[in-house]
Amino acid sequence: MGGTSEEIGRYDVIVIGGGINGTSAARALSSSGYDVLLAEKGDFASGASGRSSRILHCGLRYFETARPVRTFLGAPSRLKNAVAMAKAAMVAREELVRLRPGRCKPFTMCFPLYRNDALRGWHLDAAFALLKRLGPAQPPLDYRRVTGDFERGVPIAKDLRDREGLASIATYREYIIDWPDRLCVDAALEAERRGADIRLFTAAWVRGRDPQGLWLVDLEPRAGASGTVRAPVVLNLAGTWMDGVVRPEAGQGMPRLIHGTKGSHLLVRLPDAYRGFGIAALNRLGLPIYCLPFRDDLYHIGPTETPFEGDASAVSADDADIDFLLGEINFLLPGLALTRQQVEFTWAGVRPLTYNPGNPDGDRVRQIHDLSASGYPGILAMTAGPVMSHLSAGRELLAAVDSRFAARGGRAGRSSRVALSPADTDAGLSAARHSVRYEHARDLRGILYTRTGMAWGVRLDRDAVAAVAHDVSDLLGWDDGRLEQEVDLFMAYQDKIHRPGKAMH
């Protein structure tokens, strides 16, 4: 769009990306009095945030490796990073359970240990002793190790492989983050109530700087006129798409920030004995694999861990992903004998890990990148920020912005924009209509997945989808033809992105 776009606003901070870290940053900044614009090219949580493993874990996974003593003694820096990440996980676990109890569902995780494995029971004993020292006392870890009479202590043990070689089963308390999409919505709406300007379905591109040193950001909405906004600080929190946000002409060349890895999951129904339990192990590649409670008798299995290049907008679990996960879970739990016919729902996302030419797997430590040294003063980016630690991510980004405004000598101050408060909403609205009127929903995907969660874990039939479309058609200006088109789009999305295993061959 070049330099012909209309000037439509000046802000203290422009946040690019409506995932969990972008919305959390917008909330923290607007709560502190900054005038904030949040721009997202799609809908809230439309990238990795809405497609995560949903686990609020205690940090054990950072110590999970087939040969922990050899691994960490041979690489002290890796141990240092593991300890730092585990401590952050324990702190995030406490904070999220305390502040969002309705979104955090506890369950008992089970970790089987075999006599012939390099991973020993004392390794886990030591790891949990360290976790207790690293983190808050509450919520408790409830760690113990069952060393005999396994089915009495752990009902799901009957399905485990190699019962003769089973040495013990470690159990401990973990949490599932129920519906991470909604965490993004809630954070963004709180930011809006505090004055933030929210622009969804609007691509944002950093074009360059004006004579005063403010960054010019072009906004390209899917509908409506485009325009340009400016701010002294830009937070590039676009996740997997981060490397493409700054246009080449804006500076001397952006360093690569993102290493993408694809994580796929499948959803199955399991027997009643699994209620309240999950299972964690290392797969045959030495990487974590989980079987976790999703809802009622539904459990999700994953993740995969494969390098990913390209556009992650329409990423889905493919045949290879499903075959791999079924193979690994049937190796771990042969008593289940799962088949493709039992896979009811799938999803996949691309993790925005940190690019490191010295680490082909990408770095998992959350990092804030100050791009001043690369010729972009005032542009900050964050990589490898998981859903579970988004509250501290928001605080860290706020502190980083505070330091830049202190150096500049102040900020414009709180926005005069006013949004509806919860008291202004209509209690009698259906959930779908409320999503459109007060939560920026503009399509059926945003209503049924992101804001109401109605479509997560199930395949909605056309009549059910059409009923929701009819309910909101007047609010969105859909005539009969547009309504049918929107229903078609949702059904196609559901079949492509969340297709069941039996539909994959």
Q: What is the pLDDT of residue 423?
A: 45
Edge-first strand listing for the sheet containing 6-10: 6-10, 227-231, 215-221, 202-209
Q: What is the pLDDT of residue 61?
A: 86
Pairing of strands 258-269, 298-302: antiparallel
Q: What is the pLDDT of residue 504?
A: 54
List, in order, residues 6 or more apart from 124 with CB less than 8 Å away.
60, 111, 113, 145, 170
Using 50, 70 and 90 to split pLDDT, how confident is the model at 64? confident
| Angstrom distance (rounded) from CA 226 to CA 203 | 10
Q: What are phi and psi of 195, to 5 degrees?
A: 110, -5
Using 50, 70 and 90 to split pLDDT, how confident is the model at 3? very low
- Residue % of the chain over a pLDDT of 70: 94
- Chain centroid offset of residue 3 CA: 35
| Angstrom distance (rounded) from CA 411 to CA 232 | 9
Q: CA Rg, the chain, in Å? A: 23
- Do 355 and 258 form a contact (C-beta atoms < 8 A)? yes
Segment 441-496, tens digit of pLDDT? 999 999 999 999 999 999 999 999 999 999 999 999 999 999 999 999 999 999 99
Contacts 24+ apart (CB under 8 A), 400-408: 400/368, 400/370, 401/13, 401/29, 401/34, 401/233, 401/235, 402/32, 404/232, 404/233, 404/378, 405/12, 405/232, 405/233, 408/232
Segment 130-144, tens digit of pLDDT? 999 999 999 999 999
Rounded to 5 degrees, what angle do the CA atoms 150, 151, 157 make? Answer: 80
Query: What is residue 364's DSSP assignment?
Result: -
Q: At what angle do helices 121-134 and 76-99 cross, to 10 degrees?
A: 60
Q: Is the pLDDT of residue 211 over 60?
A: yes
Q: Is the pLDDT of residue 47 over 90?
A: yes
Segment 288-318, tens digit of pLDDT? 999 999 999 999 999 999 999 989 999 999 9
Q: What is the pLDDT of residue 474?
A: 98
- Chain centroid offset of residue 114 CA: 32
Give the count of beta carbons closer than 10 Å to the beta carbon of residue 6.
9
Read off the tokens for 173.
Answer: 């308390």
Average pLDDT over residues 21-42: 97
Segment 326-335, tens digit of pLDDT? 999 999 999 9
| CA within 13 Å, CB half, 138 | 3
| CA within 13 Å, CB half, 185 | 21
| Angstrom distance (rounded) from CA 65 to CA 56 | 19
| Mean predicted lDDT score pLDDT of the chain | 92
The amino acid present at 263, given as its one-letter code, is G
Q: What is the pLDDT of residue 1?
A: 40
Q: What is the pLDDT of residue 225?
A: 85
- Across 75-165, the runs of DSSP E, i.e. the strands, are 104-114, 144-146
List, in order, residues 6 or more apart from 398 with CB less than 8 Å away.
25, 28, 29, 32
- Across 141-226, the runs of DSSP E, i.e. the strands, are 144-146, 166-177, 197-199, 202-209, 215-221
Contacts 24+ apart (CB under 8 A), 117-121: 117/66, 118/66, 118/67, 119/65, 119/66, 119/67, 119/68, 119/282, 121/145, 121/147, 121/167, 121/168, 121/170
3-state secondary structure of 199: strand
Segment 75-127, tens digit of pLDDT? 788 788 889 989 999 999 999 999 999 999 999 999 999 999 888 999 999 99
Q: What is the pLDDT of residue 408?
A: 62
Rounded to 5 degrees, what angle do the CA atoms 437, 442, 445 make? Answer: 120
Measured between alpha carbons, how far is residue 214 from residues 14, 195, 364, 379 in Å?
A: 11, 21, 32, 11
Segment 118-133, tens digit of pLDDT? 889 999 999 999 999 9
Contacts 24+ apart (CB under 8 A), 358-364: 361/259, 361/261, 362/259, 362/260, 362/261, 363/259, 364/85
Q: What's the pTM value of the predicted model, to 2 decimals? A: 0.93
3-state secondary structure of 51: helix
Average pLDDT over residues 50-64: 92
